[in-house]
Amino acid sequence: MAAMPSTNDIAAHGAELLAVARLAIVHGVEFAAAPSLRSEDYAPPLREPGACFVTLHLDDGLRGCMGNLRAQQALVLDAADNAFASAFRDPRFDEVSALELHRLHIEISVLTPPQAIACASERELLATLRPGEDGLILRAGPQRSTFLPSVWEQLPEPADFLAELKRKAGLAPDYWSADVEVLRYGTISVAE
């Protein structure tokens, strides 16, 4: 496998990526199992390593969201695996049913490689955040969490965004320690 797919690659092959995600969900509804796919059957850019999150919406509400933070396989396979996981393994929701398929909307967010943010304090971190652009990974010992850049729509203030990210990791909203590690990433998104 070569380098990660580019923004142009995702734009050019986004419909194919979304079709694969929908196929994984439909196959799961019909056969109660993920489909067996071969990356070689898809466009060359989709065979490149990639990490993504697949977010499912039913009408206007969240219906599932699962993904990977690091590229471990071909992007097309990651999208299929995460679509299946979002529909059938997100612990917050029941499995997607056949009755929901026609109302289900899929968004795939392909992640850029995470980059560490050097910061000695929470104030320093907050000053470097780019609302609407940064996805964040927070690590503090065994505690971890992430928010995609789209979460800025619900939490537009950096202090609120960070406090909720800490809460998601099981930390107090005002927690800060020398062991806190924060990484940023961007996304290239396609949706139906």
Q: Please, what are the domains in the chain?
A: 7-111 (3.30.700.20), 115-186 (3.30.1490.150)
The reported pLDDT for the residue numbered 3 is 66
pLDDT digits (tens, 9 = 90+) for 93-135: 999 999 999 999 999 999 999 999 999 999 999 999 999 999 9
The reported pLDDT for the residue numbered 71 is 95
CA neighbours closer than 13 Å in the CB half-sphere of residue 81: 15
Q: Which two tokens stand for residue 114?
A: 């995470």
pLDDT digits (tens, 9 = 90+) for 6-46: 888 898 999 999 999 999 999 999 999 999 999 999 999 99
Residue with tokens 């990660």: 4
Residue with tokens 């949706």: 191
Please state whether the predicted TM-score (pTM) of the whole model is above 0.85: yes
Q: Which two tokens stand for residue 122?
A: 């929470």
